[in-house]
Structure 1
């Protein structure tokens, strides 16, 4: 638990978990049909997830239901496309994050992540507070359009 008035550094938490893979309760697994994920830890003000990505696997455009967070690339390379509505529609900014890289994001962050490389990737994600919903979007002529809202415990 964090002290009142002290902001939790989600990236530091992700890096902490990534630094000790021998303490993970499960070893990373790879599923050719879909991305694999497992919750590593839960605390009062955050949760930690381990995700694996085979080449070509990725997410849809999504948010984190108001939770802030961070991710750290433990192994491999991932591409993050950050999406924001602006004048004339949505803007997409891409960045490649290699092994050891990571980034923080706020509660209104909308993105998709993909493994565009030829090697499997593993990443550690932290969300605070714990995820309760995730909204999936598509890019339409007017910008972001809601596809679905998924709920923790029901869809994942």
Structure 2
């Protein structure tokens, strides 16, 4: 009977740094971006002190940037919304931190509530693929706060009407109103 454990046989893997994978500098998959959103959402000290509200339009603040991605913090008063739009060639991921937002697509409407968790206990979020048309709106009577990630960073945001694309935004750090 062998009493040696595999660890004793193999040695301490952490002592052999050249065998370890290098740490990633930034997220590269949807799952990793969702993980980044969850970690930011879980740490209120990163975002809560920054939240402000604007009675005339959604308030937004670029919270973080990385190689090819952006993280935005948005606040929504009751009735504020985006209008139908897509994110051009960017993949989006959003989660609601406080309050609730309704997403409308061709398939119907879905409400996401701040702090809501899925069946696994993970904070719920929504992936928006490049070119997918959707609209977000605060249909509730309370303010809402949401977190949005874009990869690559948002460079095109076509607005849609009944006849298709109505106009296009070419967002910049000063002009973008992400959704």
User: Unaligned regions of 5+ residues in structure 2, if any?
Assistant: 1-24, 116-123
1:108 aligns with one of 97, 115, 131: 131
Q: CA deviation at 1:50?
A: 0.2
Q: What is the alpha-carbon distance in structure 1 between the residues aligned to residue 162 and residue 130 of structure 2? A: 20
CA offset at residue 68 of structure 1?
0.4
| 1:104-127 C-alpha deviation (Å, 9 max, x unpaired) | 121122100000000000000000
Q: How many residue pairs align between the two structures?
A: 142
Higher strand share: 1
Query: Measured at CA, do residues 25 and 120 of structure 1 come closer, stay the same or move farther in structure 2, by a change above 3 Å?
Result: closer
Larger Rg: 2
Q: What stretches of structure 1 of length at least 5 have no aligned partner?
A: 83-90
- Please, which of 157, 161, 165 is the counterpart of residue 146 of structure 1? 165
Match of 1:38 among 58, 61, 70: 61
| Within-5 A mapping of 1:117-156 | 117-140=140-163, 145-153=164-172, 155-156=175-176
- Give the alignment's TM-score, normalised by structure 1: 0.83
- In the alignment, the residues of structure 2 paired with residue 92 and residue 80 of structure 1 have an alpha-carbon distance, to the nearest angstrom, of 10
Q: Normalization by structure 2: what TM-score? A: 0.73
Higher-helix-fraction structure: 2
